Amino acid sequence: MKPIQELIGIVAALRDPETGCPWDRQQTMETIIPYTLEEIYELVDAIERNSMEDIMDELGDLLFHIILYSHMAAEAGSFEFTDVASGVCEKLVRRHPHVFAGQRVDTVEEVKRNWGKMKREENAGDYLGNIARALPALQRAEKLQKRAARAGFDWDNPAPVLAKLEEEINELKQDMADSEERSRLQSELGDVLFAAVNLARHLQVNPETALREANNKFEQRFRFIQTRLEEEGEDLESASLERMDELWEEAKAGGG
């Protein structure tokens, strides 16, 4: 038996109404979503650590989820895993005419333009169509901006984008001084974040990767502060902000 068929059989056994696993039987597509997202982030972490063993393991977990969703759909009389595989095969062949249909392209940019054109045709010409609302907000902001840019709604260089970010920051400063209304401050801060994502796009920096790097940097520096304080017989709660700030600068100067 091929491994993929064996996995399909295992999922079917787990979902069997009489002999299956009680936990697996009661799951729905909606209840599985948090676990799927967790598996995706674990895969990303394994890739960033360049651990091939963990990458293989996490890909297996993700494949299990794909087959589980497909089995749930089959139970509802909608589609099966073979339909999923057939659909993505057809889509990949259709969207790569330069590989499968003799069309000639010379650059990556040409491939991207053709891909975008085909996606727009599939979405009835809607430039912003089919961008999932459930995407992380940072990622969705970048996708919205890229789609709008394809229609010509974009700046030519990063300078005016940076100016727009500074404008949004100034508007937030003004509202912080004039208003304590949470919804207004949230709206202005959202504009700042959206403008920051746009600047990242113009600088050809992935905003998610940049923020993950900043998170890791903060974690390293904060742990440095904690370790140094403990070596000095202090703890975080009793140390002054001034002392922690000194240690932060020390960690920063050390390349942490």
Q: Which CATH superfamily is domain 3-94 in?
A: MazG-like (1.10.287.1080)
Q: What is the pLDDT of residue 112?
A: 82
For residue 235, what pLDDT band results from cuts at 50, 70 and 90?
Answer: confident
Per-residue pLDDT, 256: 67
Question: Using one digit for the tens of pLDDT, what is the confidence trace for 6-42?
Answer: 999 999 999 999 999 999 999 999 999 999 999 999 9
What is the structure's pLDDT at 76? 97
* Among 135, 129, 194, residue whose Cα is nearest residue 165: 194
Distance (Å, whole) CA 150 – CA 157:
15
Predicted confidence (pLDDT) at residue 125 exceeds the cutoff of 80? no
pLDDT in the model for residue 255: 76
Q: Please give the mean pLDDT across all residues of the chain.
A: 92
Structure tokens at 30: 């909606």
Confidence of residue 117 (pLDDT cuts 50, 70, 90): confident
Residue 208 · residue 139 · CB < 8 Å:
yes
Closest CA to 159 of 199, 121, 120: 199
Distance CA 163, CA 173 (A): 15
What three-state secondary structure class fits 233? coil
| CA separation for the pair 144, 46 (Å, rounded) | 28
**pLDDT per residue as tens digits for the range 159-205:** 999 999 999 999 999 999 887 788 889 999 999 999 999 999 999 99
At residue 32, the pLDDT reads 96
Region 115-136: mean pLDDT is: 81
Average pLDDT estimate for 94-114 = 88
- Residue 73 confidence (pLDDT) above 80: yes
| Greatest pairwise CA separation for the chain in angstroms | 71
The average pLDDT across 40-58 equals 95
Q: What is the pLDDT of residue 130?
A: 81
Q: What is the CATH number of domain 127-205?
A: 1.10.287.1080
For the cut 80, the answer to whether the pLDDT of residue 123 exceeds it is: no
More confident site: 225 or 122: 225
Tell me the three state secondary structure of residue 94.
Answer: helix
